[in-house]
Amino acid sequence: MQPIEEKVYKVSELTQLLKLTLEAQFAAVSVLGEASGVVLASSGHLYFTLKDAAGAMKVAMFRGALQRSTLKRLENGQQIVVRGMLSVYPLRGELQIIASDMRLQGIGDIFAALEKLKQAYLEKGYFDPQRKKPLPLLPGRIGVVTSPTGAAVRDIVRILRRRFPGIAVVIYPARVQGDGAAGEIAAGIDHFNGAPPGTGVDVLIVGRGGGSYEDLWAFNEAPVVEAIFRSRIPVISAVGHETDFTIADFVADLRAATPSAAAELVVGKKDEFLNRIDFLRHALMRLMERELHDRRSSLQPLRGESALADFPGRLQELAQRLDNGEFALLRLFQQSLKEKLGQWNRSAQRFAAFDLGGLVKNRGLQVQNLGVRIGARFNERMQQQRQRIGVLDSKLAGMNPENILAKGYSITTDREQRLVRDASALVADEEIRIRFARGSAAARVIKE
Amino acid sequence: MKKETLDFETALKKLEAIVAKLENPDVPLQEGFALYEEGMTLTAQMKKELNDIEKKVKILQKDAKGGLQETDFEPEENG
Amino acid sequence: MKKETLDFETALKKLEAIVAKLENPDVPLQEGFALYEEGMTLTAQMKKELNDIEKKVKILQKDAKGGLQETDFEPEENG
Amino acid sequence: MKKETLDFETALKKLEAIVAKLENPDVPLQEGFALYEEGMTLTAQMKKELNDIEKKVKILQKDAKGGLQETDFEPEENG
Amino acid sequence: MKKETLDFETALKKLEAIVAKLENPDVPLQEGFALYEEGMTLTAQMKKELNDIEKKVKILQKDAKGGLQETDFEPEENG
Amino acid sequence: MKKETLDFETALKKLEAIVAKLENPDVPLQEGFALYEEGMTLTAQMKKELNDIEKKVKILQKDAKGGLQETDFEPEENG
Amino acid sequence: MKKETLDFETALKKLEAIVAKLENPDVPLQEGFALYEEGMTLTAQMKKELNDIEKKVKILQKDAKGGLQETDFEPEENG
C-alpha cells in the first residue's frame, strides 16, 4: 500500500522538472575552468568539458552562440570563462552548461607544456605526413603495446576476436602511467621492431584507456615519441578517448580515437580485403563467363541461319534444278521422238495406202481389154472377108461356061481361038478346034 | 495368068465386077471364059491371102500364148 | 518382133489408137493385120512390163515386211 | 536398194513429196514404181533410224537408272 | 561417253541450254538425240557430283552433331 | 581433315570470312563445299575449344566454391 | 609462420590488373582463360593464406634468462 501523497515521477518528468528549475535559477552564470574533450560536431555545435583540478562540467555551445562568441576556436587545455545557463540534458539526466559566450582566461600549465613539446616535434618534422607509413592491407600478426590488465587490452582482444576470429595478437605488457611507463612502452615498440623476420608483427597498436591528462602523460614523453618515430612497423596510437590528444597521436602513422577503434581499423582492413577479393573473384567469373558467352554467341549465328547452315539447303535446290532439267530433257525428247514417230506413221500410212499392185493390175486389165478388143475386131474383119469371098466364089462357080459342055454341047474355036458361031466364016481346010466336056480335038473343015 | 499383086480390097472389087459381068447372059462365051477364069484366079489369090494372114495370126497367137503362159496375167486372181 | 522401148503410157495410147483404127470397117486387110500384129506385140510387151513391176513390188513388200518384223517400233512402251 | 544417209527430216519431206506424187492417179507407171521403191526405202530407213534411237534411249535410261540406284540422292533425309 | 569435268554450274547451265534447245519442236531427230544423250550424260555426271558432296556434307553434319552431343555447351547450367 | 591450331579469334575471323563468301549465291558448288567443309571444321574446332575452356572454368569455380565453403566469410555476423 | 607469406598487396594488385585486362572484351579467348585461371588461383591462394593465419592471442613474458617468451593470454574480464 502506497501513501496517497507520495509523488512518483517518471524519469523524463523529473529531468524535465530539473531542467526547468535549473534554467530558471541559474539563467546566467560565469564559470572558470580548463577546456578538455573539445568536440566540434558536424552540426556546428561545440561540446566540451570544463574542469579544474577538482571538478568538471559538461558544456554545450550551440552554433549560433559559437558564431557570436568572443572566443570562436577552442582547444583542449585552454583556460576559459564560460558564460551561460545551467541546464540538464534530459536524455541522460546530465548537468550541463548551455554556453552563450566564452573567453580566454590564460593557458593551463599542462597544456602549455604539451603545446611546447608538440611545437618542438613539429619543427623536427616528426609529424610530416610524407613519412607516415600506410597500414598493411592485412596484418598477419598484430602487436599491442599496452597494459595487460587495462580496459584497452580487453577491448582490443574482444573486438579482434569477434571481427577476425583467431587473428594472431601478441601483447607486449607495459605500464602505461606513472614513472618509467614511457620507457616500457618504448621498449615494447622497439622489441617488435627488433624481432627476426617472419616472427614479427605487421602493425602495432600502442595505447591505453581513458584517463586524466596526467594519466596519459607517458604518451607525450620523448621515449615513446622517439620509439614511434623510429618504428619500421606502422604504429596506430590509441590513447584515452576521442577527445584526448597526445604527442604519440601526432607522430603515429594513424591515430585511433580509442583502443577499440584501433582494433576496428586493423580488422576493418580484413573486411575490406575480403570484400575486395570476393569482388574481384566475382568480376573474374563474370568476365570469364561474359567472354565465353560472347564467343559462344559469336558462333551462334553460324549454327542457325547463316550461309553455312544453309549450304545443305543449297544442295537440295541444285538437286531440284537438276531434276527439273532431267525431267524436261526426258519429257521434251520423248515428246519429240513421239512426234517424229507420228510424222513417220502418218507419212508411212499414206504411203502404204498407195496400192501400186492395184495400179499394175488395173493397167493389166486395161491392156488385156485392149488386146481382146484388137483380136476380136481383127477376127471379125477376117471373117467378113472370108464370107464375102465365099459368096463370090460360089456365085462364080455357078457361072462356069464349061457347064454347057457337060450337057453335050461343044465349043469350036478357029485359029485365032475365036468362038465359031457362024459356019460361013469357015473356009475349007481351015483348022479348027473343038472342045468337049472332056477334052478337045483338032479338026479340018472339009466343005462348006 | 500373070500374077497381079492386087491388094485384097481391089481384088475383091474386081471379083465382084467379074461376077456382075458374068451374070449378064449376053456375055460372049469367050469373054465369059476369060472372066470366069480371071474370077477364079482372083478368088484363089484372095483365099490364099486370107489363109496366109490366118497362119500368121496363129503363129502370133501361139507366140503370145507361149510367152503368156509363163507370165500370164490373171485378172480373176485380183478380185 | 522389134522391142520398141515405148513407155507404158505411150504404148497404152497406141494400143487404144490401134483399137480405134481396127474398129473402122474400111481398114484394108493387110493394114488391119499389121495393126493386129502391132497390137499383139504391144500387149505382150506391156504385160511383161507389168509383170516385171509386179514381181519387183512383191519382192519390195516382202523385204519391207521382213525388215519390219525384226525391228518393229512400239511407241506404246514409252508412254 | 542403195542406203542413202538422208537425215530423218529430209527423208520425211521426200517421203511426203513421194506420197503426194503417188496420190495423183495419172502418175506414169514407171515413175510410180520408182517413187514406190524410193518410198519403201525411205520408210524402212526412217523406221530403222527411229528404232536405233529408241534402242539407244533405252540403253541410256537403263544406264542412268543403274547408275542412280547405287548412289541415289535422297533430299528428304536432310529436312 | 566422255566424262567431261565441267564444273557443276557450267554443266547445269549447259543442261538448261540443252533443254531450251529441245523445246524447239523443229529440232531434227539426230540433233535432238545428240542433245538428249549429252543432257543425260551431263545429268548423270552432275548427280554423281551432288551425291558425293551430299554424302560428305552428311558426314560433316553427323560429325558436328556427334561432337556436340558429347561436349555440348549448356549455358542454363551456369545461370 | 587437318586440325589447324588456329587461335579462337583467328578462327572466328576465318569463319566469318567463309560465311561471307558462302553468302554469295554465285559461289560455285565445289568451292562452296570446300568453304562449307572448312567452316564446319573450324566451327567444330572452336566449339571444342570453348567446351574445353568451359570445363576448366567450371572446375576452377567448383574448386573456388569448395575452398570457400569451409572458411567462407560472413560479414553479416558483425552487424 | 614458416610458409613464405604471400604479399597480399602485390597479389591484390596483380589480381586487379588481371581483372582490368579481362575487362577488355578483345582479350583473346586463350589469353582470357589464362588470366582467369591465374586470377582464380590467386584468389584461392589469398583466401587460403588468410585462413592459415595463426589463431592465437599471445602475451610476451620474461623467462628465466630474461628473454621474452610468448604465452597464451586471456584478458581478465574485470572491466
* Contact residues, chain D, for C64 at CB < 8 Å: 40, 43-44
F7 — alpha (psi -120 to 50), left (phi > 0) or beta? beta
Question: What secondary structure, in 3-state letters, does chain C show?
Answer: CCCCCCCHHHHHHHHHHHHHHHHCCCCCHHHHHHHHHHHHHHHHHHHHHHHHHHHHHHHHHHHHHHHHHHHCCCHHHHC
Q: How confident is the model at residue E79 (pLDDT cuts 50, 70, 90)?
A: very low
Q: What is the mean pLDDT of residues E25-50?
A: 90
CA dist., res. A71 & res. A64, Å (int):
13
Tell me whether C62 touches chain A (CB under 8 Å). no
- Mutation to test the G interface, candidates A287, A290, A296, A298, most G Cβ within 10 Å: A287
A340 touches chain E (CB under 8 A): yes
| pLDDT(F69) > 50 | no
The answer to whether the CB atoms of D8 and A341 lie below 8 A apart is: no
The mean pLDDT value for B50-69 works out to 79
- Would you call B6 an interface residue with chain A, using a CB distance cutoff of 8 Å? no
Q: What's the mean per-residue pLDDT of chain C?
A: 79
Q: Is D51 within 8 Å of C71 when comparing Cβ atoms?
A: yes
The SS3 call for residue A134 is coil
pLDDT value at B71 more than 50: no
* pLDDT (tens digit per residue) in A231-261: 999 999 998 876 667 899 999 999 888 888 8
**CA–CA dist A9, D46 (Å, integer):** 141
Distance CA E50, CA E46 (A): 6
Q: Which CATH class is domain A123-270?
A: alpha beta
The residue extents of the domains of chain A are: 13-107, 123-270, 301-400, 411-444
- The number of CA neighbours under 13 Å toward the Cβ of A232 is 8
Dihedral, CA of residue D41, residue D25, residue A371 and residue C22, to nearest 10 = -140
Q: Is the pLDDT of residue C71 over 90?
A: no
Hey, what amino acid is at B7? D
Local confidence band at G44 (pLDDT 50, 70, 90 cut-offs): confident
Residue at A304: amino acid letter: G
- Per DSSP, the three-state class of A422 is coil
Residues in contact with B40: Cβ distance below 8 Å, sequence separation at least 6, in sequence order: A396
What are the pLDDT digits (tens) for A390-414?
998 888 888 887 777 888 888 888 8
Interface test with A, best of F19, F37, F56, F61 (most A CBs within 10 A): F19
Identify the CATH homologous superfamily for domain A13-107: Nucleic acid-binding proteins (2.40.50.140)
- Give SS3 for A169: strand
Are residues A389 and B47 in contact, defined by beta-carbon separation less than 8 angstroms?
Answer: yes
pLDDT band for position B6 (50/70/90)?
A: confident
Q: pLDDT band at residue A228, thresholds of 50, 70 and 90?
A: very high
Residue of chain G whose alpha carbon sits nearest to that of F72 = G47
Per-residue pLDDT band at B77 (split at 50, 70, 90) = very low
- For A357, nearest residue in chain C (alpha carbons): C54
What CA–CA distances, in Å, run from A383 to A389, B50, B51?
Answer: 10, 9, 11
Evaluate if residue G58 carries a pLDDT over 50: yes
Average pLDDT, chain D: 79
Residue E78: band (very low, low, confident or very high) from pLDDT cuts 50, 70, 90: very low
- What is the C-alpha separation between F13 and E43, in angstroms, rounded? 37
More confident residue, G70 or D5: G70
Helix, strand, coil percent content, chain A, rounded in steps of 5: 50, 20, 30
- Among chain A residues, CA nearest to G12: A277
As a whole number, mean pLDDT of residues G40-53 equals 80
The residue ranges of DSSP E strands in chain F, in sequence order, are: none
Helix C29-71 vs helix B29-71: crossing angle, to nearest 10: 0
> In chain F, what is the greatest distance between 2 CA atoms, to the nearest angstrom?
72
Which of A189, A267, A271, A281 is the best substitution to test chain G (most G C-beta atoms within 10 A)?
A281
pLDDT above 80: residue A166:
no
E and B interact (at least 3 Cβ pairs within 8 A): no
pLDDT, one tens digit per residue, over A169-195 is: 889 999 998 888 999 999 999 999 988
Residues of chain A neighbouring F19 (CB-CB closer than 8 A): 302, 306-308
Residue A417 zone, left/alpha/beta (φ > 0; ψ -120 to 50; rest): left
Identify the pLDDT of residue B61. Answer: 82
Q: How confident is the model at residue A293 (pLDDT cuts 50, 70, 90)?
A: confident
- Quick one: closest CA in D to C71, which residue? D51
